[in-house]
Amino acid sequence: MTEQYPKSPASPLARLAQVIARAQRFHGDAAALDKGEQAALARLDPEAPRPHQVGALARALVLAGITADDWQPETWQRWALIAHGMALAGHDGTSRLGKQLAGHGDPKRAVSESRVTRFLTARGDAFRQQIPRLLRLMASRGIAPNWL
C-alpha cells in the first residue's frame, strides 16, 4: 500500500510553501513576499518574534489563505516555526523526508543518524530548537525538505 501525501494547493502547508518560495515578478508585486519579508521569515524567532517578523508572517499567512482570527499564542508559534523553516530550507515535495535526510543515498549529503535520532526523540522546547538546526544543515547540503 502506498501512502498519498496532500500535494494539492488545497493543503495549507502547500499554499504557504508556494507563497514563501514565490519571487516577486516586479517591484511592488502584492501577490508575493518581498525580499525583506522573506529575510524576516528566515531570521524569525518563533518564541519571540519582532514586529516586522510578525508582519511578514501575517502577510504570508494571508497570501496563503490561512485565517488566523481566533488562534491561540501556541498556534502562532507553530505556524511561525513552519514558516521560518520553509524560509530557511525551502520545500521539495518530490521525495519523502526520510530519503531527503539520508541525502538521497549520498553519504556526504546525509544527515547523521545521531542527529536524526536527537530530532525524533526531542520534545517541547528541545524539539523547537532542533528544527532550525536540522533545516540549516539540510540547506547547507542543498537539500530542501518535504513539508507535506
**pLDDT tens-digit series, residues 69-119:** 888 989 999 999 999 999 999 999 899 999 999 988 888 889 999 999 999
In this prediction the pTM is 0.84
Q: In this structure, are 125 and 147 located in the same domain?
A: yes
Domain residue limits at 114: 94-148
Which of 28-32, 50-54, 60-64 is predicted with the least confidence, judged by mean pLDDT? 28-32
Q: In this structure, are 86 and 99 located in the same domain?
A: no
Q: In this structure, are 82 and 126 located in the same domain?
A: no
Q: Could you tell me if residue 73 is inside a domain?
A: yes
CB 53 within 8 A of CB 44: yes
CB 136 within 8 A of CB 89: yes
User: What's the number of domains the chain is made of?
Assistant: 2
Q: How far apart (Å, rounded) are the C-alpha atoms in residues 131 and 18?
A: 20
